[in-house]
Amino acid sequence: MSLIVDHLKEAIKGETNAKLKYVLFAEQAEKENYPEIAHLFRAISSAESIHIKNHTQALAKITNSEVNIYEIVKINDDELKKQVKDTRNNLIQAIAGETFEFKEMYKSFIKDAKREDLYLAEFSFDLARKAEIVHSKLYIQYLKKLDKKENIEPIEINVCSICGNVVLGEAPKTCPNCDHEKKFFKKID
Ligand SMILES: [Fe+2]
Ligand SMILES: [Fe+2]
């Protein structure tokens, strides 16, 4: 069990770092006059909050104790700020982070949780992993537009409050990631 507890903590750290970094990336995109890229960073930042919440709940249930997130995550603002580059490189960095999470981190965490029969952790990792695949695709889509100097039209962005899935345009009838209904989607400004 201690391995999975460590994995959950590691995932909470990674998600918190991503969440905070994307807020700074959004501010940078605004400065460079890319409001729609800023919008995407804000939406995905809010999606990472869902993963933090799910992992924290899984950790609390598995350890049967309250979880103090500040004991798990130590945020260094200067370190975080150092990671902010120009928007193109921020997108590349975000794609690398999301890809690492779904291809490596969550993949191995899911395997370990399955082996230890810790379904709650496995479920939380799996939901997050599916969302990270979507996040990475959206960042790639926006990077391509940026590189082609295509105008990115303003579009509604919805985040599933159950799994952190991110959808461009109107929320679907059910979330393709977790099957929850439309009402669980939250529109991000
Ligand atoms: Fe993500
Ligand atoms: Fe969902």
User: pLDDT tens-digit profile of 111-152?
Assistant: 999 999 999 999 999 999 999 999 999 999 999 999 999 999
- Are 62 and 5 a contacting pair, CB within 8 Å? yes
* Closest ligand to the CA of 159: 2
Ligand 1 centroid vs 64 CA: distance in angstroms?
A: 27
Give the CA dihedral 66, 125, 53, 154, nearest 10 degrees: 170
Helix residue ranges per DSSP H, the chain: 2-31, 35-63, 69-72, 77-82, 87-100, 106-115, 119-147
* Closest ligand to the CA of 133: 1
pTM of the model: 0.96
**Cα–Cα distance measured from residue 120 to residue 110, given in angstroms and rounded to the nearest whole number:** 10
User: pLDDT tens-digit profile of 11-24?
Assistant: 999 999 999 999 99
- For the domain with range 2-151, which CATH number is right: 1.10.287.80, 1.20.1530.20, 1.20.1260.10, 3.90.226.10? 1.20.1260.10
Ligand 2 centroid vs 33 CA: distance in angstroms?
A: 31
- Are 164 and 131 a contacting pair, CB within 8 Å? yes
